[in-house]
A and B are shown apart, each in its own frame.
Chain A
Amino acid sequence: MAAHLKKRVYEEFSKVVQVTHEEAPAKKLRLSKPSKSAALHVDLCKASSSTDALQYLLTFSRKPVEAESVEGVVRILLEHYYKETDSSVRLKIASLLGLLSKTPGFSPDCIVDDAINTLSSEKSHQVLAQLLDSLLVIGSQLPESPAVRLRLIEVAYKNLSDSSFGVRTKCLQLLGCLGLLEAPLGKDTMRDVQSIISDYFGDQDPRVRTAALKAMLQLHERGMKIHQIIYDQACRLLSDDYEQVRSAAVQMVWVLSQLYPESIVPIPSSNEEIRLVDDAFGKISHMVSDGSWMVRVQAAKTLGSMLQVSPHFLEQTLDKKLMSDLRRKRTAHERAKELFASGEFSSGRKWADDAPKEKLDTNTVNLIASGACGAFVHGLEDEMFEVRNAAVEALCQLARSSPSFAEKCLDFLVDMFNDEIEEVRLQSIHVLRQISTHITLREDQLDTVLAVLEDSSRDIREALHELLCFTNVSTKECIQLALLELLKNLNKYPTDRSSVWKCLKFLGSRHPTLVLPLVPELLSTHPYFDTPEPDMDDPTLRFWFWSLNAATSCPTMPALFSDHTFRHYAYLRDSLSHLVPPLRLPGRKQVYGLDSVDCGSGSVESAQLFLQQSLNRVSTIQNLEAAGAPELLDLTIRDLQRLGELQTELAGAADFCATFLRCQLLLMKALQEKLWNISVPLILKQNITVTAAAQQVLDESYKLEFLYSGLENRQVATIHHVRLQAKALQLILAARTRHGSCEKFLQDVESFQRLFLTELPHLQDSFVEKLLELLPRLSSCKPVEQVKILQTTLRQSGLLQLRLPEQIHRATATIIEPTGESDNPLRFTSGLVVALDIDATLEHVQDPQNSVKVQVLYPDGQSHVIHPKPADFRKPGPNRHRLITQVYLSHTAWTGEACFHLAASCWPTAPPAPPGWDGPDAMDGLPACRGTVEGTIPFSKHVKVFIMPKPARR
């Protein structure tokens, strides 16, 4: 018996240790409390030497401690602390103090005094530093208690004069994090935090200097206004010997330049004065040629955010003077510009055409870049690509705010297109796109830009296409050049087709007047002769998008088209409608498509209005059982669907509303079925349709929640409400056939209440409201009664109004590749893997890295979900992502070819997988695909890929 008891004790004891963070019953938690501190106490007492004690502490620190026992543990630790002679053990205890006070749910104010008291007796600098660090943790855990803060700050002041750099650093950190923002009242002895910290700008140890600067920056971050006197000191630190100091100083100077941009500072060694922001800009520019690349990166990055700098200084950053043998030499940029201006293009390099010209006065040459001079010239030519990248980034920011600067930095940016590191090239292309509104490319610049079209990296090419879509060019030669290069690109990389086409479309519609003179030549028409009709698959086809798009805004152009052009037009308009715009052709019957010209852009507002009106109309339906309500809903749903097709801007909203209303309609219909009145055995058949309806509503509600972006809490509540209704319906149905309990449902209701407490007032007269009223009764009564109550509430509840949020978009994914049109099966060796390239565009997907998966359906009905790597997602534009990844497929051998289905699907991360979630309707045609992975919502069309095993080799 005794043995048995003992065993039980051990069992419980051992459980205690591992349980802590799981949801354990309360009883066990209580058991664990004394054991934790007691065990530690025993361990520490047992420890014969300091190494043993250290070992115990180390193992102890790996286990979590629950909030209630923290204080006890701290007491034991401190007790041991005073006894301990070895500083390493004390150090560990000190660090444990900080660690323990971070325990969630524990308020460390009870241990502040004890922790501070330990400081007074401590001799070791390292332990002292660690103690201060722990105090910092404690202090930041107690942001609401000024008394504690004041004490901690006093401690910090006291220890600031310590001889060890570690202690001083920690003290400064403490001051930075906890220093009072307002000057303490009535205490003259305590000086201003800033002036105390700034005293340590001149400390002998670079680490302390850095810490002082960092503390000051911390103060700034916490909202304190840094005094302007700091500026001079910070500037002096820019020439410090140590890089971390210089780096922090750059930040400091930047902060001050943002705080006091307009104040005036004198220039040393002259009696002129300039604005502070200009002065700071000059000084930071100087740091771009620093010896340490970390500082250079920092400086280059910082420059980008100094937008208030005056244009004069800004332009200096691109300044460079060349000389050879003391004679002025023109830069390649200037030469290119001149060539362009003189109308001569690409004359071929002559020997010594870059020969230096005029003699320079030796006194005017500035060898060392002073101030902002040439900062970006240096930055862009830096050895480290990190610096170059930062410089490009900064150029972008500055150029976006200043058109004239954008014009000036163009040459340099274009130069960066030839950088040796791909990231830099990509970055500079993106940057050029961002500033493209300000600029017009010259022919020689365009030439350089277009050369990149042959780059082997797909990202680069596509970025460049994107850029060309937004570029303005100056002459018709440019446009011709661009065209030819794009065709070359297409020949070399046929996979770029869609991207190049799109690019052509935009190029055409952007420059109609430049395109006009080129049309006859490109369409190979002739004033007198009929030329042979081009093949529709000919590359010249691509000119079409281009010229046709141009023609929309240039009415004279269609006159140049020949007869077959119009015939082709009809075909293209039909097959590639997103690339070919509608044209008003003379003498032809206008084919009004869905988006005919007249239904132009002006009607967005009216569509919006229509949407609102429809919703208002629906909202008049008070009761689900009102006569004519189903018809009205039906009609509105149809209207909304049509609206979504017509107005792409409102597609998301319209779609959302339609789906929501459909849910309501389904619910309404389900409730109005006669089945509720007939007896149980007769209704089995009808039951099925209602069950299906309930299921569908449930499915749709998940789609509503996860596929639309821009939802506000209110809408989410509405969706959840619909889901509750569907669940109630399911429950009632289930209860009619067999007895079930609605415990789970009640839990759902409770969680709904918890989640949407703020929204409840808006849900007046709804199902939930009524339910909540009845909740006490519900939870107490018998299941049969519960179901009855539910049924009546459900039937009585009114239709919920839907309020539309500002912007609502449906997440979609389009799989561009594989196209699914190919009849050639992909061959693979059975048992080995085959890689399939996937290229998909995702629109309006939030956090695609975590939520988007690729779903593969094998022919045998198996289904796989593949998580793409985060690096596979690119972001070409706002709300748009691109997934380029490879999917590995494998299968055993079979004889014929089989098709795989691919789909991008969304993985709702927040709630648990919806129960009973089955395949979506998109897969209705596939009998074998009921095995969709639970908890995913597909949001792209399925793509079929044929694959076939290679014949097995003997």
Chain B
Amino acid sequence: MPEINVTPLGAGQDVGRSCILVSIGGKNIMLDCGMHMGYNDDRRFPDFSYITQNGRLTDFLDCVIISHFHLDHCGALPYMSEMVGYDGPIYMTHPTKAICPILLEDFRKITVDKKGETNFFTSQMIKDCMKKVVPLNLHQTVQVDDELEIKAYYAGHVLGAAMVHIKVGSESVVYTVSVNKYAKSHISAWIDKCRPDILISESTYATTIRDSKRCRERDFLKKVHETIERGGKVLIPVFALGRAQELCILLETFWERMNLKAPIYFSTGLTEKANHYYKLFITWTNQKIRKTFVQRNMFEFKHIKAFDRSYADNPGPMVVFATPGMLHAGQSLQIFKKWAGNEKNMVIMPGYCVQGTIGHKILNGQRKLEMEGRATLDVKLQVEYMSFSAHADAKGIMQLIRMAEPRNMLLVHGEAVKMEFLKGKIEQEFSIDCYMPANGETATVTTNPSVPVDISLNLLKREMALGGPLPDPKKPRTMHGTLIMKENSLKLVSSEQALKELGLNEHQLRFTCRVQLQDPHSDPDTLHRIYTHLKSVLKGYTIQHLPDGTVMVESIVIKVSSSAEDTNAKVLLLSWSYQDEDLGSFLSTLLKKGLPSGLC
């Protein structure tokens, strides 16, 4: 039986460093090539030596597919392609291709320039790597080679995030990152009922069912609005991509709706470039944004302007988005320091903060902060927390399963305990197998592929001519024909045609059988007795008594000869062709029983 093997190199019962190997129908595919943000050593990148000890990966991989631009999904890409060596195609969607290099470059700068690491990929490597990228359009089927085809669906996690449907022959795998059903600024996930053999899904929030986004948004907007009305300033520390744009759109529309005048600023740098790409990929965004596009591009913000350092001291209300998101350094921290003293102001943390950062401290209610040196900072401003995570919750995953109807499920990118829960649920609700391999562990799924067979039209027509009800797709029906296997293709043709095609002569296969019979009559009489006997038993068959001393039942020939020694012992000769095997064997058993005595 053919099988599909899935081996996570990262993300197996683990979060971070997504990298999954799939071998399907003889093809090897790498799904995502991420890095772990938590490590600075070799554990950072997936262990490519699993694929090959030395040498390039090109020979072992047919293609690499990147689902979205987060570094834990694409961070190791230049390392793999340039330093380990891979020259095959790398597939990603257009937005991912656009934004990915920005992030990689940023990441490289931090690691190399700030932390001073060596033996890291260079800018040139990023460029070279991006040259190998083949962009994907949504719902476009791309033929990687003759047999392998891939098709991208939108996943709605971040801009450009994709689910990929990988298909070899009739075997298929769907890989998806966190599917987001209720995305704010992106179109939401949708997939065909493609019934893949395996659905590989992330399960970060496997044990969470989320509340509606609307409540959270409303709270967020209300807070901002109230502060602005009081004349206070609002600081929103964000990371540059994804959520920041979402919040921008949210505030922008709100400003528009409520006719507000206070300025909104967005700190410069990386974000501006990213905003530019959001503008370009407007078709990837949600209904509202796409609808307004006729009048204007929503990402051409009307109310949001670029921030300048000096603006922080301006009087009057304002809203500022500043990086980084955890208030540990940079612009957001500077602004925070300036505004912390005024109780009219507010800081809104839109995401999770790592322990030790100022963000984490203030969220836990600390009102006095120690700064560099001995200075302390009194935090008088209001601190709010709003979570806007774009990961799918358990329900989202379940819905995806309902939509795609996979035969098997495979969970990655999540904690083992949580996966266990979801696995149980999936098995219970859908009664399909669910796997959760650890890193380096291989999950094997045997498939039951349907083998396509060409059938000749003539054969079908002949079958039709035989009559009977119209073919019912739900019921099997038997027919005669010859299966020819030739050059990797299967063909079902009529036997005559098969003979002709293969240049063979037709051979007849006949069975003959002798039956001893005790009968006192003469040969012709015996024959006649047999004839009448069969006539009474086999109704609905054509039985002929031929003048040359034979009885024909359909095509079966029966002859009688008496042996020389004993005239009473008659020998019946039965002969039938292979096609009439059923009838022939029935006749032979019937005649072996002898003739009934009451016959004339």
Contact = CB atoms under 8 A, between A and B. Distances in A.
Interface of A: 161, 163, 202, 204, 241, 289, 291, 320-326, 329, 331-333, 348-349, 351-352, 362, 365, 367-369, 377, 380-381, 383-385, 415-416, 418-421, 448, 451, 454-457, 492
Residue with the highest number of chain A CB atoms closer than 10 Å, among B212, B402, B422: B212
17 contacts: A204-B473, A241-B193, A322-B208, A351-B383, A367-B398, A368-B402, A383-B188, A383-B287, A385-B288, A418-B221, A420-B253, A454-B258, A455-B257, A456-B256, A456-B259, A457-B257, A492-B259
Interface string B108-122: 000000000000000
Contact of B384 (A349, A352, A367, A419): A349
Contacts, number: 116
A463 to B, nearest CB: 14
A238 to B, nearest CB: 13
Given A322-B210, A326-B207, A418-B214, A351 B364 contact: yes
A332 B216 contact: yes
Residue with the highest number of chain B CB atoms closer than 10 Å, among A349, A367, A454, A492: A367
Given A367-B395, A383-B187, A492-B259, A349 B223 contact: yes
A533 B71 CA distance: 69
Contact of A332 (B215, B286, B402): B215
Given A320-B212, A332-B216, 19 more contacts: A322-B208, A322-B211, A326-B207, A326-B418, A332-B212, A332-B219, A349-B223, A351-B364, A351-B383, A367-B209, A367-B398, A367-B429, A380-B212, A381-B212, A415-B212, A418-B218, A420-B288, A454-B259, A456-B256
Contact of A365 (B212, B216, B382, B425): B425
The 6 closest A-B pairs by CB, nearest first: A332-B215, A456-B259, A383-B188, A326-B207, A351-B363, A368-B398
Contacts of A367: 209, 394-395, 398, 422, 425, 429
B105 interface: no
A870 B526 CA distance: 100
B399 interface: yes
Interface string B199-217: 0000000011111111111
A768 to B, nearest CB: 59
B382 A348 contact: yes
B403 interface: yes
Contacts of A369: 395
A894 B187 CA distance: 56
B520 interface: no
Interface string B466-503: 00001001100000000000000000000000000000
Interface in B171-193: 181-183, 187-188, 190-191, 193
Residue with the highest number of chain B CB atoms closer than 10 Å, among A329, A383, A457: A383
A326 B218 CA distance: 26
B286 A383 contact: yes
B365 interface: yes
Interface string B409-426: 000000000100110110
Given A289-B399, A351-B364, A415 B218 contact: yes
Given A349-B384, A362-B424, A323 B208 contact: yes
Contact of A448 (B183, B190, B218): B218
Given A204-B473, A368-B429, A381-B214, A349 B219 contact: yes
A291 B403 contact: yes
Contacts of B363: 351
Contacts of A419: 214
Given A241-B193, A333-B215, A384 B207 contact: no
Contact of B208 (A291, A324, A348, A362): A324
Given A325-B418, A420-B288, A381 B257 contact: no
B510 interface: no
Interface string B228-261: 0000000000000000000000000100111100
Contacts of B191: 291
B253 A291 contact: no
B385 interface: yes
Contacts of A331: 211-212, 215
Given A322-B210, A351-B383, A454-B259, A415 B183 contact: no
Contacts of B257: 455-457
A326 B214 CA distance: 23
A365 B398 CA distance: 13
A385 B287 contact: yes
Contacts of A349: 219, 223, 384-386
Residue with the highest number of chain B CB atoms closer than 10 Å, among A326, A457, A492: A326
Interface in B321-361: none
Contacts of A451: 222, 225
A384 B259 CA distance: 25
A321 B209 contact: yes
Contacts of A322: 208-211
B291 to A, nearest CB: 8
A202 B472 CA distance: 10
Interface in B552-596: none
A163 to B, nearest CB: 8
Nearest to A422: B257
A492 B257 CA distance: 13
Contact of B258 (A202, A416, A455): A455
A383 B187 CA distance: 7
A291 B209 contact: no
A448 B213 CA distance: 15
A420 B256 CA distance: 11
Residue with the highest number of chain B CB atoms closer than 10 Å, among A348, A349, A352, A380: A349
B211 A415 contact: no
Contacts of A351: 363-365, 383, 385
B209 A323 contact: yes
A830 B78 CA distance: 67
A494 B13 CA distance: 61
A325 B259 contact: no
A383 B183 contact: yes
Nearest to B222: A451
B237 to A, nearest CB: 15
B214 A415 contact: yes
A332 B207 CA distance: 19
Given A291-B193, A381-B182, A326 B222 contact: no
Residue with the highest number of chain B CB atoms closer than 10 Å, among A161, A351, A369, A416: A351
Contacts of B225: 451
A541 B392 CA distance: 53
A656 B188 CA distance: 59
A905 B288 CA distance: 38
B207 A325 contact: yes
A161 B221 CA distance: 62
A202 B421 CA distance: 38
A457 B183 CA distance: 25
Contact of B217 (A289, A365, A416, A418): A418
A204 B473 CA distance: 7
A332 B191 CA distance: 31
Contacts of B216: 332
A163 B349 CA distance: 64
A457 B257 CA distance: 7
A206 to B, nearest CB: 12
Contacts of B394: 367
A324 B389 CA distance: 13
A163 B460 CA distance: 14
Contacts of A326: 207, 418, 421
A324 B207 contact: yes
A384 B218 contact: no
A162 to B, nearest CB: 10
